[in-house]
Structure 1
């Protein structure tokens, strides 16, 4: 049975919640802390972790066949991805009715910009992040990374098929070459593609390093010190705007994934607890559902602003905020929204993610 890396799973949940707070803007609340203003970097962590886990699960499997492999990955991602795309198309219809009936506009006119009908087909095909002709942030904007992720699975299989026993060196070569191109500000590929390739294949190579040294025993005290130091480095990098921080973040996340795979310190012991494990289990749902929830919360605030005549949904530096009038109320709102996101994610995990995975297994096993 393939080993699960429980601590790394827990990080998925915490990083997903950090991305939620990055996308939510509430005046004078925790969302405005430097750490959460920089939490978009955690998508890099998702890619690195995916590369690590996929290399563990599939990279050294004998006689791996493409159809069952890609079907398994497809049904892991697509059911919820598709459902949320439909939700966002539905929200554009609601915006259209509000505009036509009441003349009310939510930031942008319906079916324009990120909601353009021309972006529906690229989103259905998960291609929106791969070309200069498509909008990676169209409709459910966090799904830009899922667009990248799915085709990284295909590329991983190609490295197994084309390079055989040299696959490990192909992973390292891809990661290094892409990092060099990123440092040189190359426009050879779309920026999001660069991010995904470098983190994913570097993560895959990181697994190879882990497999070579996993027999090492790290004392609890030493492990705890290193874990705290690594998380401190992550917090510093995420909280500060420095040149080439995406490159530094990629390299740092390789090290974080490698070391926390040992689960040797006090942080790992904490992250093995039930709550953090549950958040890891729901992390994909948290990541894909939160944008729709935030849109609805913000839209309610905009309607309330118009009805009450109070500025509870101000635009500050081109970003839409919510302001309930005090730091206490604003932070309570943030906590409430996080609870809503988690509750919705528990439901979508149970009724969409698990059902989709079960359907995929039935299809694979029927062949």
Structure 2
């Protein structure tokens, strides 16, 4: 059956996105371990910006021309809502009792629920992240979709409007944002639009200049891809200690998108292996579910700590520049911490298989069918009636 959302897939970049989601999960698990002390993991919050850049690139690739030609802003936003909202709603419903059990029925719980239901939680309305803390980025992405649709529908596929967030975003994040590039509920929209705009411009440049799509030959492409991987690992590892490097990270991810959109080297072939493609497919579920796995594991360990009269949490700042928080420490053993983090990540992936199968796919397909029916009905109603 023809879909309302036939999209161009960049399989190597999908796998990249899945790897980034796993790194963000490791960053948030807050466990004393060898993995947590790796500089790459300590600064892995920057991989969220890869999502924003890739989102701008893919959305521009699949919808810029169609929106400019009358695809329909409402139809586009309904399709995007069908992609992100079902899983967001499920995780929201699961987090409400968790937060209520942890902090009680507090006065701001209603505000947290309402803003999350309306996808406003990442737009500077709330004073902190509530409920599923990862969902702030979903809120800002949907706002970016709306802005993209309005701009393209009204102005067309011009590159100029997207230069504004690219110029303003880094300045705001470097000077005003209290957490620099790690902005979430407060300056998260600025962060998202900065990366999203880079993705749109990245696609535009790739279309305008064929040299960016020209192949270098198998060995040249492989070296280029390998160099890109090493650049990301090195850059993210050192960027957390310097705010200028932090705010420049989306530009590094833009280069990665340009390189791996070609899918021409040996690294891309590895990234398009079935196991890697599966991780890429589960990206959204991994990202949205890892806070739930974190919350459940921490709750279990708190019960074990209380019943066993042992200390399983210590006050420590795993991320540079942040206040110490309670992190998991299994008798001070880094190796046990590694095993716990790996188990949490595997649990997240396994749970993601279920949510992709029973939440993401059904929700997206239902919305696609709905938009197809509405489009067909609109076409029929627009056809002239002939007298017999």
> Do these two structures clear the TM 0.5 threshold for a shared fold by scoring above it?
yes
Asked if the contact 2:12–2:260 (Cα under 8 Å) also holds between the matched residues in 1, the reply is: yes
Q: Deviations over 1:2-41 (max 9, x none)?
A: 4210000001110000000000122233122111110000
Q: Kindly state the Cα deviation for residue 266 of structure 1 after the two structures are TM-superposed.
A: 2.1
2:270 corresponds to: 270
Counterpart pick for 1:155 among 137, 147, 158: 147
Query: 1:184 Cα deviation (Å)?
Result: 5.0
1:176 and 2:172 correspond: no
State how far apart, in whole Å, the 2-side matches of 1:26 and 1:179 are. 31
SS of residue paired to 2:65: coil
| Correspondent of 1:191 among 187, 194, 198 | 187
What SS class does the counterpart of residue 27 from structure 1 fall into? coil
Instruction: Give the corresponding residue for 2:72.
Output: 65
TM-score by length of 1: 0.90
2:46, 2:236 within 8 Å by CA — same for their partners in 1?
Answer: yes
CA shift for structure 1 position 68: 1.5
Q: Quote how far apart the aligned CAs of 1:190 are.
A: 4.4
| Distance in 2 separating the partners of 1:186 and 1:19 | 20
1:101 alignment counterpart: none
1:257-303 per-residue CA deviation (whole Å, 9 max, x = no partner) reads 11110112221111011111000000000000110111110111111
Q: Please state if 1:230 is matched with 2:228.
A: yes
The answer for the alignment partner of 2:242 in structure 1 is 242
Alpha-carbon offset, residue 63 of structure 1: 2.0
The CA distance in 2 between the partners of 1:64 and 1:185, in whole Å, is 38
The answer to whether the aligner puts 1:124 opposite 2:129 as a matched pair is no
Q: State how 1:48-87 maps to structure 2 within 5 Å.
A: 48-61=53-66, 62-87=69-94
1:180 is displaced (CA, Å) by 4.3
Does the CA contact (< 8 Å) of 2:16 and 2:280 recur in 1? yes
Contact 1:34 1:239 in 2 (8 A): yes
- Gaps (5+ residues) in structure 1? 96-108
Q: In the comparison of the two structures, how many residue pairs are matched?
A: 350
**Structure 1 consecutive aligned stretches of length 4 or more whose deviation exceeds 6 Å:** none
CA deviations on 1:194-221 (whole Å, 9 max, x unpaired) are 1111100110110111223254112222
Could you tell which deviates more after superposition, 232-241 or 202-211? Answer: 232-241
Over residues 135-169 of structure 1, what are the superposed CA-to-partner deviations in whole Å (9 max), with x where a residue is unaligned? Answer: 4511100101001000110000111122125x222
Secondary structure of the equivalent of 1:244?
helix
Match among 3, 13, 36 for residue 41 of structure 2:
36
> What's the TM-score once normalised by structure 2's chain length?
0.85
The alignment's C-alpha RMSD in Å is 2.0
- In structure 2, the residue corresponding to 1:116 is in which secondary structure? helix
Contact 1:178 1:194 in 2 (8 A): yes
